[in-house]
Structure formats: C-alpha cells, structure tokens
Structure 1
Amino acid sequence: MQFEQKRSHVASAVQCFMKEHGVSEEEATKAMWGRISDAWKDMTEVYCQKPTPLPRALLLPVINFARTISVIYLKADAYTHPQFLRERIADLFVNPVPL
C-alpha cells in the first residue's frame, strides 16, 4: 500500500476501509483478507460444488482469471515487480516435476 501512495495512485481498498470504519491499517488489512477468503469460499461453493445453469465453459475462464490474479498479488505486487513471479514461472514451465 505504501508503494502505491508514493506513486500518487488513488486510494487503495485498505485506505477506504480505514477511513470508512475508523480502524488501523493492520485491522483494515486483516478485514480485507477476510473478505477475500469469503469470496473464494463463495466462488468455490457456488460455481464448483453446486449445479448451475451456466455452462462450465463460461465459468472456468472467470475462475481461472481469479486464480491468476491471486497468484500475481498474493505475496507481493508481482505485476509491478515481476521478479517475484520468476521462480513460480520456472517451476511451471522449466523445472521438471519429480515423479
């Protein structure tokens, strides 16, 4: 979050939460991670475990996009700093899987 503020970006979700609820950055971050966790549970339950009128061919790209975003932003901002993804990409495409 501090990195974004140095670049004069708009307010982050954490900052908006802090202002709206009058909490610290730590509490806001914890609350945001809770919301992300709940969203993953909802997606898994609604789209993967229960029958749905939507064809699976429409659902999978949306779920895969969410997975991709999760990989890019889970540990650090790998979009801005792609070196964080180097090891993961190497594991997927270069390093053999031991059998």
Structure 2
Amino acid sequence: MKETEEIKQALINFRNERDWEQFHNPKDLALAINVEAGELLELFLWKNPEEANREKVKEELADILAYAFLLADKYGFDIKEIVMDKIRINGEKYPVDKSKGSAKKYNEL
C-alpha cells in the first residue's frame, strides 16, 4: 500500500469509528484546514521563527495534513498525482532561469 493511501485509510478508519463522516463534508473540511492553519500561524505570532514550539508546530501541521487528506478523499483525488501535477504546473510558471533566487510572482518575472 502506498504511504499516502495508508495515511488516508488510517484517517478514514479513525473518523468512521467515531461516526464523524457526517461532519466531514468538503466545505467543513476546507474550513477546518483554515482553522488549523490559523492555529499554526499563532505559534509564530510575535516571535522569531526559531522561537516557535516545534512540538506544537508538528501537531498543527499534522491536523492540516489530516484534513487535507480527508478533503482529497472526498473528491477522489490521488494525493501524489495532484501534488506532482502542481509541481509541474509551477515549473512552467516559474522557470529556473527566470525565478531562481527571486520571490516575485510568476506574472512579474
């Protein structure tokens, strides 16, 4: 079993054992990602990046990834495929010769 599928199945099993699928519609999963991303951001608020509590960063990142995996499942997306497609698209938008070392957006290169 692919690692991403193993993770997704573990999340689905955890969710189903608790009868939580009823709450996991695409809208609410997207909202949950946003809420957890806000909690991740809060760990860095008013601090230098190295001052953030690594364990709490790990926990919030895991929450974000978990909801993202469940959202991908709702739409039947293959996680590896959609990430690899996005890397390819970004490679076209940000060619190395124009974007290397630059923080400019693709339409400003």
TM-score category (smaller protein)? 0.3 to 0.5
Superposition TM-score, scaled by structure 1 size: 0.45
The structure with the largest helix share of the pair is 2
Higher relative contact order (CA 8 A, sep 6+): 2
